[in-house]
Amino acid sequence: MMTPAEIRLRQNPVLTNLLLGLKQTGFIAERLFPRLPQALRGMTLAKIGNEHLKQYDLRRAPGTATKRVDIRYNGQTYTVNQYSVEVPIPRELIQESEAAQRVSIVANLDVSRIAMTTANDILALDYEIEVATVANTAATYASGNVLALSGGTKWSADTGTPVTDIRNASDTIRAATGVRPNVLELSYAAWRALEVNPQVRSYQPDSVLGPVTLDQLKTILQVPDIIIGEAIRLDDADVAHDVWGNNAILAYVPSLGGANGDVSLAQPAFGFTSVLEGNPFAEAPYYEPNLKSWVYGATYERQANVAYNTAGFLFQNAA
Domain membership of residue 96 (yes or no) is yes
CATH code of 217's domain = 3.90.1690.10
Domain membership flag for residue 37: yes
66 assigned to some structural domain? no
Task: Look at residue 8 and tell me whether its pLDDT is greater than 50.
Answer: no
Query: What are the distances in angstroms from CA 123 to CA 16, 37, 137, 165, 210?
Result: 13, 17, 22, 35, 37
Q: Which residue has better confidence, 31 or 40? A: 31
Q: What is the pLDDT of residues 245-284, one digit of tens each?
A: 999 999 999 876 544 444 445 678 899 888 888 888 888 8
Domain ranges, residue 31: 4-49+75-316
65 occurs within a structural domain: no
Comparing 38 with 253, the larger pLDDT belongs to 253
What's the CA gap between 109 and 63, in Å, rounded?
A: 81
Residue 210 pLDDT > 90: no
In whole angstroms, what is the distance from residue 3 CA to residue 49 CA? 33
pLDDT the model gives residue 291: 86
| Residue 150 located in a structural domain | yes
Structural domains of the chain, count: 1
- What pLDDT score was predicted for residue 59? 67
Q: How confident is the model at residue 14 (pLDDT cuts 50, 70, 90)?
A: low
Q: What is the DSSP string of 113-132?
A: HHHHHHHHHHHHHHHHHHHH
> Looking at the domain assignment, is residue 187 inside a domain?
yes
Give the residue from 251, 307, 280 showing the smallest Cα distance to 78.
307
Question: What percent of the chain has a predicted confidence (pLDDT) above 90?
Answer: 40
Of 248, 243, 245, 303, the closest CA to residue 274 belongs to 303
Q: Is the per-residue pLDDT at 229 higher than 50?
A: yes
Quote the pLDDT of residue 234: 86
> Over 60: is that where the pLDDT of 301 sits?
yes
DSSP class of 33: S
Residue 139: what pLDDT? 97
pLDDT value at residue 134: 96
Q: Say whether pTM exceeds 0.85.
A: no
Cα separation, 253 vs 32, in Å, equals 6
Question: Could you tell me if residue 69 is inside a domain?
Answer: no
Angle in degrees, 0-180, between the axes of helices 13-21 and 111-135, rounded to the nearest 10: 50
- Tell me, what's the pLDDT at 292? 85
Confidence of residue 3 (pLDDT cuts 50, 70, 90): very low
Is residue 86 one of the residues assigned to a domain? yes
